[in-house]
Structure 1
Amino acid sequence: MGFEGIGAAVKRREDLRFLSGRGNYTDDINRPGQVYAVILRSPHPHARIRGIDTAAAKAAPGVHAVFTGEDLAADKVGGLPCGWQVKNKDGSPMAEPPHPVLAIGKVRHVGDPVAVVIADTKAQARDAAEKITVDYEVLKAAPTVESALKPGAPLVHDEVAGNICYDWHLGDREATEAAFARAHKVARLELVNNRLIPNAMEPRAAVAEYDPMSGEYTLYTTSQNPHVIRLLMGAFVLNIPEHRLRVVAPDVGGGFGSKIYHYAEEAIVTWASAKVGRPVKWTAERSESFVSDAHGRDHVTVAEMALDPDGKFLGLRVRTVANMGAYLSTFAPCVPTYLYATLLAGVYTTPAIYAEVKAVFTNSVPVDAYRGAGRPEATFLLERLVDICALEMGMDRVEIRRRNFIPASAFPYQTPVALQYDSGDYHASLDAALKAADWAEFEARRAAAKARGKLRGIGISTYIEACGIAPSAVVGSLGARAGLYEVANIRVNPTGSITVFTGTHSHGQGHETTFAQLIADRFGVPMSQVEIVHGDTAKIPFGMGTYGSRSLAVGGSAMIKAADKIIAKGKRIAAHLLEADVADIEFKDGKFQVAGTDRAKTLAEISLAAYVPHNYPIDELEPGLEETAFYDPKNFTFPGGCHIAEVEIDPETGATQVVNFTAVDDVGRVINPMIVEGQVQGGVVQGIGQALLETCVYDEDGQLLSGSMMDYTMPRADDVPNITVGHSITLCTHNPLGVKGCGEVGAIGAPPAVIGAVVDALKEYGVRHIDMPATPQKVWSIINANRPRMAAE
């Protein structure tokens, strides 16, 4: 056996079943006697429901039942809850209108669920759904923040004045205004962070079963956090006692944030399974996912930076309007506030920052966290603005960053926007990235490209993010309606094999490998002796799932705490068996040994003694070798780094090709370098997708124009360059592993680097900024609009 512990590039052991088609995804689950649900969704972005005629659908072949919002209301089914409350500037609570499971009285976006048909087959349910007649009174829609904020705009919710969910702020306004008053120059940027539609490999699905004998419900669902779904759905929607509701999230094929939330379909099939007395299954069609899965991003921002004569940042002023969509998704309010504005310091020493965020309801799909959640929006704004600052000051883009970096000697560093960074070395990651990207020789490559008729540009992004969402008491004071700790239960079995029950959940990150490495390293056993169990509320203790790159920093830390309890108990057992003092027992490489001697007991010998306690300190210790630990983080973790993108543009077509990409990240201690590299590369691809290809577009009437893969462009293999991944490591100082998180860094650092490169390639055309996505049409239009001017010059 080769080395498998911390730092080893061990192949993912879960990949065998995934690549051989033996995964157990939600759609693979079929229960005896199951029936199928198809949901009728609104074709209108805004309309009153004057009546629903379901008679023809109920009479259709194979149909068991047809339900509407009125049926659920009659059964006292509650609305979908929001998990975070944000307060307005004056301290008043945000507007929090009801979010019915099935629409009642009004539909508010294309795709709003109106009715559900339950039938023997999916085809029969689909045919019957087409027989439902809904009498809609079509209303004028406000699908964008601009349209929703116009005087006299239609109200998405009649009770929410001006469509304003909240008007929030953070920072020191007076100090920021004073900084601008003494500024040598002010750099200003208006930008849009484009709305994205998540497209995980596996569409969402749910299978629910009710047992009338026990009164118990089981829900199989594509979720990143099954315990949270059980809590929200049981307590707030269906009023099911938690001990009678089991939620299982089996293999999940990608999430990227979109599978964190409690969705209507989970409640619909669970409730319906009891009503029809049969298991009920729903699987989204891909086109359905476009109008039912929470979207991401969608900010409109004006940002200004005050600078002194030397290019030092004096103050940052930000005004953002954030689209919430038609309803508040589970964690939506915190994304443009506590996950966004708190990161506006970035890696810089800006002494004064003031941010205002206005959240707006619109007639569009709800918006929530998407890979990075607020941090990509903050980084894109800040890094693009820093490039504008360099232009205003006539400085090099790298130099202005160096001049304003937080020095490595300044940690822990208190930012002016609440967060305190514990560690980092931004100069080191910048230097490593510049070297790896061969920045110094770029102008020669630009000249060579020009000789071939191409426009070449290079862009840079020096970013930071916050991961491992931090102390429950802190986030509770900021509006979180849940704790953000994690839990691990470790059971050393009688023969020394180890089972780990974790409250985190994997949706493709390789947890079964990384966590097994962690435990194997701690206990000195082969990985083959370690089993990782997650995703089933009937098996695991209450945990908070996976998002925000929290699994290792929070979940892994809970495992270390539980492992330490196991080892401490093992030492006491070993001391008894070896007739030694506990203080003399050392544990290393799977053995409990009396220090300075060859007397030792293996972990398996200790565990067998714990379960067969014939010779055991029974007066001091309970039998068994199993421990549980909770870990509530002391702070966020703060991964950071430097990303550099190099692009070539064909001026005849406007097509942009990313020809080189370099990512040097500080993710803290690396447990498995191969998995970290895969996570970084995957995130970079999503970042390239946002920068160049992806955008969600509604027309002025609220119809989704990018509602299928024909109209929403995802990155493909030939859109992606070779990605060079490197590391510049500083350890997190407040968790036992020293880890920071790697799952989101690519999606955070890549977009501003790519757009910076596009702008650099187009600088001879007078371009200072271009909003994402920089599509061929957009780029070609810029080039052609400026050709006459350039010819005249």
Structure 2
Amino acid sequence: MNVTIPFEGIGASVRRKEDLRFLTGRGQYTDDLNRPGQLHAWVLRSPHAHARIERIDTAAAAAMPGVQAIYTGQDLAAAGLGGVPCGWQVTGKGGKVMAEPAHPVLALGKVRHVGDPVALVVAETRSQARDAAEAILVDYAPLAAATTIEAAIAPGAAALHDEAPGNICFDWEIGDAAATDAAFARAHKVVRFDTTNNRLVPNAMEPRAALGEYDPNSGEHTLWTTSQNPHVIRLLMGAFVLKVPEHKLRVVAPDVGGGFGSKIYHYAEEALVTWSAAQLKRPVKWTAERTESFISDAHGRDHVTHAELALDEEGRFLGLRVSTLANMGAYLSTFAPAVPTYLSATLLAGVYTTPAIHGQVKAVFTSTVPVDAYRGAGRPETTYLLERLVDVAAREMGMDRTEIRRKNFIRPDQFPYQTPVALQYDSGDYEATLRVALEAADFAGFEARRTEARARGKLRGIGISTYLEACGIAPSKLVGQLGARAGLYEVANIRVHPTGSVSVFTGTHSHGQGHETTFAQLVTEKLGVPFDQVEIVHGDTGKIPFGMGTYGSRSLAVGGTAMVKAMDKIIAKGKKIAAHLMEAAVEDIEFSDGQFRVAGTDRSKAFAEISMAAYVPHDYPIEELEPGLEETAFYDPKNFTFPGGCHICEVEIDPDTGEVAVVNFTACDDVGRVINPMIVEGQIQGGLAQGIGQALIEHTVYDGDGQLLSASFNDYAMPRAKDLPSFQVSTSTTLCTHNPLGVKGCGEVGAIGSPPAVINAVVDALRDHGVTHVEMPATPAKIWSIIHQGRGGADLPAAAE
């Protein structure tokens, strides 16, 4: 009987092997874990945005039932704990290093945002810890708060940190100011644009959680945590906060229910439960409530930008000036300084051949939750700025939106393309993704749909975004020169077992992307091992060589390449074993489809035969080779990878309510080689949902006293199924030229390309009202005001009789 073996290698839409446990409730998340004798922690947080701490009285709380300990910032300082470190240092104009104020694990002397941790209560139960926290008496002396960039840099504004006069963290620039000035001097037209990229609150399904345990016999600390990069947490927490050597500190990230960047960073609670467990000699567990997450998890975006674009008579871009004020929040989170600088301003060329660019970034401390990388990390901010600016330029030049883009695209024959802002792109075809998207969206037929909508009393618009992003930050030498305090390589250990099954130990981490499936497909493709005989192990510093985790769409481009390099070593050793067994020269051994063959003959050995020979070396070249079949490889990329594409959004606005409905959304993305089309499509769709959410409904609102008014799902709107259309998603591929897989990254493209496409569509729908820009989010109240204010509704489209 013939048995058809399904194709499960590169290019196959293999169903995710993780889904069985996730969809049946068998996942193992941090909050699912419980240890014998476990205690529970509650963090008392500041109700003030800026205040001096005059006194903390814990006596009444300490006497409450179940309370085992209460710790304050003074206790931690006395114990010698360090502050939460920043992982990236930016050097600004004139070689001035950024201001880097201390970030205590528990507040010392002052609190600087609502939610700043003030004390830790550890008790027998969570409710006991919470009740005791509410009984702690803290005398605060309120100080003036500055929750906006403008307020923080205003003359006479209260300083959050003595080390940052005027609340400026750094003043940084990139590009050639003189060349840009010269370009503007000869411009036919200068287009100016101002915008604010709205602050967002990440909301993964799983709130953050941490569980610390200490073994007094071995002196080993173990932390289970909701993290995207356990080794980085171990490094930062061990070296800078707890001052524990690596071999005495194990960090485990089990299943993680979404991250989007917010679980990259080292947070205070991780250090608190690890340290307090050692003090009390009992495990300590903390899990955030959702509202607590709003005031403790790093926020995203929050840039205020002025841009100017110089064009010649034919609409070609001559020069670009950009000045950004970036909100850092109250402290520097792990990678915050890199976001508006090296992850954002270095992409100011976008997909265009702008010959002269100058960018400036001032980073500002405010009395708000710290801001850090959130899905896309700087690239959504720059893409939004560029793609809105290009639409404004098209209107002011009287040009078609597609024409102005095509006229300025980097052409395929120009790669590798050196931009004026440091980066060199290796491959791309922006005309191709635009062409595919325009056809799929029936762009040519849009005006008929606009007319039909107007007959129904609706306003219809269409918007385009042609974007580019950078993934897999690298190489380590370069980013080290730019201020990164960690390497950006990745590691893979491939362990082939005697019967030929394979365990892969990878330094990357999955928080919903399907790594256990995609990585197994790489092994199936490369080694010919059946898909169901491949195990992917990640998230445990006790098992994995030092790796850098998952963020910036680096998993396949960097982590996958490390796997390929390790498998190349496996194959090379296997060829030597096979040559010995088949009495052939190593040079004559070929390997494909799981078989080692002697070239030009019918002699072969299956992969499993070679692995068995490696572990049972009865007939083995023992003089030349060690037994076993296990290899490790580290990969440090030569460059970023550069996905790009075109997103087209079509909206319909109800002028009576201001509601914006996304009726069609088309995306054509170049993410390099696609390993699993189904997973890629899912990643893109998820990113589109987040991008549309930012464009239309998500917004973080503080009042003048620094209180977060949008601190729950009652006030912070999240996209729902009814807010989203059925997406049309496709890919158009150019391969990355500097990694063996040709992959580029797909995890963030949806969130990067979609916001400007949505707002461009909204502005297009409102064009007859003289609207040239709508700030995100384009909420119904905002749109209704734009339509009706001063017009009385007289010029609104009338529904057909």
Q: TM-score range by the shorter chain?
A: over 0.9
Q: Specify the code of the residue in structure 1 equivalent to 2:701.
A: V
> Partner residue of 1:657?
661
Partner of residue 539, structure 1: 543
Q: Distance in 1 between matches of 2:663 and 2:793?
A: 29
CA distance in structure 1 between the aligned counterparts of 2:341 and 2:225, rounded to whole angstroms: 29
Structure 2 residue corresponding to 1:164, chosen from 168, 178, 189: 168
Give the secondary-structure state (helix, strand or coil) at the position aligned to 1:447: helix
Matching of residue 146 in structure 1 with residue 146 in structure 2: no
Displacement after TM superposition at 1:304 (Å): 0.6
Conserved 8 A contact 1:765-1:790 = no
Q: Alpha-carbon deviation of 1:45?
A: 0.1
- Inter-partner Cα distance in structure 1 for 2:106 and 2:640: 37
Equivalent in the alignment of 1:196: 200
1:109 to 89, 101, 113: 113
Describe the SS at the equivalent of 2:94: coil
Q: Map of 1:518-557 to 2, 5 A cutoff?
A: 518-557=522-561
1:5 aligns with 2:9: yes
Contact 2:787 2:793 in 1 (8 A): no
Q: 2:691 maps to what in 1?
A: 687
Evaluate the alpha carbon distance shift between residue 791 and residue 535 of structure 1 in structure 2; reply closer, same or farther with a 3 A threshold: closer
Partner SS, residue 788 of structure 2: helix
Question: CA offset at residue 789 of structure 1?
Answer: 9.1
How far 1:159 moved relative to its partner? 2.7
User: Which of 300, 314, 317 is the matching residue for 1:310?
Assistant: 314
- Structure-2-length-normalised TM-score: 0.98
Q: Which amino acid aligns with 1:449?
A: A
Query: Partner of 2:300 in structure 1?
Result: 296
1:643 maps to what in 2?
Answer: 647
Superposed CA deviations along residues 520-550 of structure 1, whole A, max 9, x for unmatched, are 1101121111000000000011000000000
Q: CA deviation at 1:790?
A: 6.2
Which residue of 2 is the match for residue 462 of structure 1?
Answer: 466
What residue identity is the alignment partner of 1:140? A
User: What is the identity, as a one-letter code, of the residue corresponding to 1:229?
Assistant: I
Provide the rounded CA distance (Å) in 2 between the counterparts of 1:274 and 1:11: 43
CA distance in 1, matches of 2:795, 2:526: 68
- Partner in structure 2 of residue 375 of structure 1: 379
2:15 and 2:674 map into 1 onto residues whose CA distance is 15
- The equivalent position to 2:185 in structure 1, one of 152, 156, 181, is 181
Contact 2:100 2:163 in 1 (8 A): no
Deviation, structure 1 residue 140 = 0.7
Which amino acid in structure 2 is aligned with residue 214 of structure 1?
Answer: S
Aligned partners of 1:322 and 1:680: how far apart in 2? 27
- Determine which of 270, 283, 296 is the counterpart of 2:274: 270
* Greater than 6 Å deviation, 4+ residue runs: none
Aligned to 1:721: 725
Question: Residue 789 of structure 2 aligns with which residue?
Answer: 785
Q: Deviations over 1:243-294 (max 9, x none)?
A: 0000000000000000000000000000000111110000000000000000
Residue in structure 1 matching 2:632, options 628, 632, 640 = 628
- Structure 2 counterparts to residues 157-556 of structure 1, below 5 A: 157-556=161-560
In 2, Cα distance between the equivalents of 1:403 and 1:770?
26
Find the counterpart in structure 2 of residue 773 from structure 1. Answer: 777
Q: Could you say which residue in structure 1 is the equivalent of 2:761?
A: 757
Shift of 1:786: 4.7
Residue in 1 that maps onto 2:58: 54
Matching residue of 2:28? 24
Structure 2 residue 701 is the aligned partner of structure 1 residue 697: yes
Q: 2:431 and 2:520 mapped to 1: Cα distance?
A: 34
Letter in 2 for 1:473: K
Q: CA contact under 8 A between 1:7 and 1:672: conserved in structure 2?
A: yes
TM-score normalised to structure 1 length: 0.99
Structure 1 residues 86 and 792 mapped into 2: Cα distance closer, same or farther (>3 Å)? closer
| Structure 1 letter corresponding to 2:492 | A
- For 1:552 and 1:541, locate their aligned partners in 2 and report how far apart those are by CA, in whole Å: 17
Q: In the TM superposition, what is the alpha-carbon distance from 1:160 to its structure 2 partner? A: 1.4
Separation of aligned partners in 1, 2:161 and 2:146: 11
Counterpart for residue 614 of structure 1: 618
In structure 2, the gaps of 5 or more residues are none
Aligned equivalent of 2:598, options 590, 594, 597 = 594
Deviations 1:569-598 (A, max 9, x none): 000000000000001100011110101111
Of the candidates 544, 567, 570, which is equivalent to residue 563 of structure 1? 567
In the alignment, the residues of structure 1 paired with residue 83 and residue 530 of structure 2 have an alpha-carbon distance, to the nearest angstrom, of 48
CA contact (8 A) 2:647 2:665 kept: yes
- Residue 791 of structure 1 and its aligned partner are, at CA, apart by 5.0
Percent of pairs with identical residues:
76
Asked if the contact 1:56–1:132 (Cα under 8 Å) also holds between the matched residues in 2, the reply is yes
Alignment of 1:733-744 (within 5 A): 733-744=737-748
Q: Secondary structure at the match of 1:219?
A: strand
Aligned partner of 1:618: which letter?
I
RMSD across aligned C-alpha pairs, in angstroms? 0.9
Unaligned runs of 5+ in 1: none
Q: Distance in 2 between matches of 1:73 and 1:48?
A: 17
CA distance in 2, matches of 1:651, 1:340: 36
Q: How many Å apart are 1:788 and its aligned residue? A: 4.6
Three-state SS of the structure 2 residue aligned to 1:336 is coil
The secondary structure found in structure 2 opposite 1:266 is helix
SS in 2 for 1:787: coil
Instruction: Give 1:792 shift.
Output: 12
CA distance in 2, matches of 1:304, 1:173: 13
Match of 1:748 in 2: 752
Distance 2:162 2:781 in 1: 39
- Give 2:123's aligned residue: 119
Q: Secondary structure at the match of 2:295?
A: helix
Superimposed CA distance per residue, residues 203-259 of structure 1 (whole angstroms, 9 cap, x where no aligned partner):
000000001111000000000000000000000000111000000000000000000
Distance 1:190 1:46 in 2: 30
- 3-state SS in 1 of match to 2:183: helix
- The separation in 1 between residues aligned to 2:770 and 2:792, in whole angstroms, is 12
Post-superposition Cα deviations, 1:692-734, rounded to whole Å, max 9, x if no partner, equal: 0001011111111111110000000100101000111000000
Output the CA distance in 2 between the equivalents of 1:323 and 1:305: 24
Is the CA contact 2:425–2:642 (under 8 Å) kept in the aligned structure 1? yes
- 2:186 and 2:163 mapped to 1: Cα distance? 44
Secondary structure in 1 matching 2:213: strand
Q: Which whole-Å CA distance do the structure 2 matches of 1:588 and 1:774 have between them?
A: 54
Q: Give the aligned residue type for 2:481.
A: S
Instruction: Note if contact 2:81-2:242 (Cα within 8 Å) is conserved in structure 1.
Output: yes
Q: Distance in 2 between matches of 1:373 and 1:198?
A: 12
Asked if structure 2 preserves the Cα contact closer than 8 Å seen for 1:118 and 1:125, the reply is yes
Q: CA 1:34/1:394 → structure 2, altered by over 3 Å: closer, same or farther?
A: same
- 1:604 counterpart = 2:605: no
Q: Deviations over 1:51-80 (max 9, x none)?
A: 000001100000000000000000000000
Q: Deviations over 1:464-502 (max 9, x none)?
A: 000011100000000000000000000110110001000
Counterpart code for 2:389: L
Q: Secondary structure of the equivalent of 1:525?
A: coil
Contact 1:765 1:786 in 2 (8 A): no
Indicate yes or no: 2:671 matched with 1:671. Answer: no
